[in-house]
Amino acid sequence: MLTTILPILLFAALALAVIGAGKRFLMWRRGRPAQVDWLGGLLAMPRRYMVDLHHVVARDKYIANTHVATAGGFVLAAVLAILVHGFGLHSRLLGFALLAATALMFVGALFVAKRRLDPPSRLSKGPWMRLPKSLLMFAASFFIATLPVAGIVSADFGGWVLALLLSVGVAWGVSELFFGMTWGGPMKHAFAGALHLAWHRRAERFAGGRSTGLKALDLDNRNAPLGVEKPTDFTWNQLLGFDACVQCGKCEAACPAYAAGQPLNPKKLIQDMVVGLAGGTDAKFAGSPYPGKPIGEHSGGPHLPIVNLNGKALVDAETLWSCTTCRACVEECPMMIEHVDAIVDMRRHLTLEKGATPNKGAEVLDNLIATDNPGGFAPGGRLNWAADLNLALMSDKQSVEVLFWVGDGAFDMRNQRTLRAFVKVLKAAQVDFAVLGLEERDSGDVARRLGDEATFQLLAKRNIATLGQYQFRTIVTCDPHSFHVLKNEYGELGGHYQVLHHSTYMEQLISGQKLTLGTHKGGSVTYHDPCYLGRYNGEYEAPRAVLKAIGIEVREMERSAFRSRCCGGGGGAPITDIPGKQRIPDMRMADIKETAAEVVAVGCPQCTAMLEGVVGQRPEVKDIAELVADVLLESAAPLKQGNPAPVAAMEVH
């Protein structure tokens, strides 16, 4: 009897799965077109899955091993089951293989079930609590049903009672694992996830690559939407990406805004996008809500606006403005979903179409347009900080080794100390450098994160035109935000440069023995990784190497390097200023205090400002450039000593 029921069940489930897959695919395709490498993506998918995705999952060994067992067992079992039970290839060999696969899957599923006994809060409950049972049921049912095939028991073992039980078990298993996969069950993540990996919007992220720059809006095309108003304004592969979410909540655990009690939860945001994609309310969401926003009050549909400024729609605007664009969620996401892209896309609509950048946002954008800096300072004062430093100007020198990109920190009295320290270092190393002076403009970072793509492109194009007039080998900057934008986001607009963060450049100077340095004497030091240097650009080593070179052994924080917690200063968050339960910099300062370090080394003007804004007793905040400048040895005497450097060089020869 089983031999008739099982194929029917299997093929029915498969057929339903195929229909569901088609429906789901059409649902994604409601999004805007995107260029993908259809075949190449599919061919690259297994590798992306096994290597890149596993690399992220393997940060948690328990779940990595569990997933390998369960998923590997399932894929094998599914293929073999179709062969054995679907097509009736009752070979003993296949039978034993199927037994092994289901056994493996069963063991894996046991571990899944174990994790679900007392799940951490980041995990979604609801249907996800059912999944381990479904997995066990599938594995157990097929195991028992395959025993006769392997010849371990006789074909009529157990009689019709067992056959009935097994059919129920198989029915449950295949409905969850086959057609549940394409009809919106928890297993959807496998199906959508695989295709998402194949047709990912940032294919460069795989095979060790890095792609973090935001994608430009086509402002010349008047018909293209300015950002995302409704779910169908996303590109179709973004929608596919949302569907790949496995609701593991790693993003939620990493999100600084969520931890600060601001109304953002990256996981919920992605799930809301899925709700928008299919239409409905968020009532079925079984994870943590946006802090302070109860579940069940929001709803949307593919063609309905995501944000309603005068009421409730799918997502509230303040959720989108809470993000610091620190990319911690993207870094943690095992499905490689691009949360930040989605958030900025939706912000673009709010800023460019609705003119609804909250709080100081509008003022900052107006300032950027009128004065090229977010503070609205007179543009003529951009070089005042260096009035006594006698810096060479690009307009005078035309061609230099290093173009020192000063950034808007030029207007900030605190940051001017950093800038002066770095100039001291450059001069000590006798670097051939110059600044743009009054020709420099804001890099456009803040404008872009606030969704004002038009102002970003305006600033970027003018900067690219300015830079185009001069010859230089590299751009060096103390500001990771400018660094990121110049390096990764100007390319799309035609500006390709070699850009270095000042920590990287100092590391090169030190390893090139251009600097004679003493040792740091100011007490223990910890180092805070800026998001835009670390996660955005993968530079974790150079700052640490610089600190090591001046005799500092960094007391690492628990959350450092790629897990570094944001200072709260990115993405225009201090400007949009969405209230939460606590402040992100306060939380970061608590991390810093845990190391009992007396100094926290930073490499970013934003981080400096945010961390120095923490009130009460706290470690001193110092830029790496300041720490290095403090221990420079040959101070103010390079001319007097004749030319020691060339002599030393001769000796080396």
- Report the interface residues with another protein, using CB under 8 A: 222, 226, 351-357, 359-362, 365-366, 369-372, 376-379, 413, 452-455, 574, 577, 579, 583, 613, 615
Cα–Cα distance, 18 to 28 (Å, whole number): 15
Question: What is the Cα 507 distance to its own chain's centre?
Answer: 26
Read off the DSSP letter of residue 473: E
Please answer whether residues 358 and 578 qualify as being in contact, where contact means their C-beta atoms are separated by less than 8 angstroms: yes
Cα–Cα distance, 451 to 630 (Å, whole number): 39
Q: How far is the CB of 258 from another protein (least distance, A)?
A: 18
User: Using alpha carbons only, what angle is made at residue 99 by residues 94 and 100, rounded to the nearest 5 degrees?
Assistant: 100
Nearer to another protein, 399 or 582 (CB): 582
Q: How far is the CB of 613 from another protein (least distance, A)?
A: 7
Nearer to another protein, 300 or 451 (CB): 451
Cα–Cα distance, 145 to 138 (Å, whole number): 10
Q: How far is the CB of 568 from another protein (least distance, A)?
A: 10
At 176 the three-state DSSP class reads: helix
**629: its two tokens:** 């400048």
Q: How far is the CB of 348 from another protein (least distance, A)?
A: 9
Burial (CB count <10 Å: 0-12, 13-18, 19+), residue 54 = middle
User: What is the CB neighbour count within 10 angstroms for residue 522?
Assistant: 13
Segments in 429-511 forming alpha helices (H): 445-449, 453-468, 480-484, 502-511
Q: How far is the CB of 290 from another protein (least distance, A)?
A: 18
Nearer to another protein, 192 or 450 (CB): 450
Nearer to another protein, 382 or 520 (CB): 382
Nearer to another protein, 220 or 396 (CB): 220
Q: How far is the CB of 448 from another protein (least distance, A)?
A: 13
Read off the DSSP letter of residue 512: T
Cα–Cα distance, 258 to 539 (Å, whole number): 25
Nearer to another protein, 111 or 377 (CB): 377
Q: How far is the CB of 378 from another protein (least distance, A)?
A: 4
Nearer to another protein, 7 or 381 (CB): 381
Maximum distance among all Cα pairs of the chain, rounded to whole angstroms: 102
Q: How far is the CB of 124 from another protein (least distance, A)?
A: 30
Question: What is the Cα 310 distance to its own chain's centre?
Answer: 30
User: Using alpha carbons only, what angle is made at residue 291 by residues 287 and 295, rounded to the nearest 5 degrees?
Assistant: 50
Q: How far is the CB of 438 from another protein (least distance, A)?
A: 11
Nearest to 530 by CA among 493, 484, 573, 496: 484
Cα Rg, the chain, nearest whole Å:
29
At 540 the three-state DSSP class reads: coil
Read off the DSSP letter of residue 216: P
Q: How far is the CB of 309 from another protein (least distance, A)?
A: 12
Cα–Cα distance, 189 to 195 (Å, whole number): 10
Nearer to another protein, 227 or 480 (CB): 227
Q: How far is the CB of 601 from another protein (least distance, A)?
A: 23
Contacts of residue 379, Cβ cutoff 8 Å, sequence gap at least 6:
371, 372, 373, 438
Please answer whether residues 458 and 369 qualify as being in contact, where contact means their C-beta atoms are separated by less than 8 angstroms: yes
- What residues are paired with 147 via a beta bridge? none
Nearer to another protein, 4 or 582 (CB): 582
Cα–Cα distance, 544 to 547 (Å, whole number): 5
Please give the span between the terminal C-alpha atoms of the chain, in angstroms, as a whole number. 88
Cα–Cα distance, 252 to 274 (Å, whole number): 17
Q: How far is the CB of 395 from another protein (least distance, A)?
A: 19
Nearer to another protein, 94 or 356 (CB): 356
Q: How far is the CB of 615 from another protein (least distance, A)?
A: 5
**87: its two tokens:** 């097509």
Nearer to another protein, 225 or 301 (CB): 225
Amino acid at 80: L
Nearer to another protein, 329 or 419 (CB): 419
Nearer to another protein, 370 or 649 (CB): 370
Q: How far is the CB of 376 from another protein (least distance, A)?
A: 7
Amino acid at 483: F
Sign of CA dihedral 522, 523, 529, 530: negative
Nearer to another protein, 272 or 452 (CB): 452
Q: How far is the CB of 410 from another protein (least distance, A)?
A: 15
Please answer whether residues 445 and 482 qualify as being in contact, where contact means their C-beta atoms are separated by less than 8 angstroms: yes
Nearer to another protein, 229 or 489 (CB): 229
Segments in 528-570 forming alpha helices (H): 541-549
User: What is the CB neighbour count within 10 angstroms for residue 616?
Assistant: 6
- What residues are paired with 148 via a beta bridge? none
Cα–Cα distance, 188 to 205 (Å, whole number): 23
Nearer to another protein, 14 or 438 (CB): 438
User: Using alpha carbons only, what angle is made at residue 624 by residues 621 and 630, rounded to the nearest 5 degrees?
Assistant: 90
Q: How far is the CB of 352 from another protein (least distance, A)?
A: 4
Cα–Cα distance, 8 to 538 (Å, whole number): 52
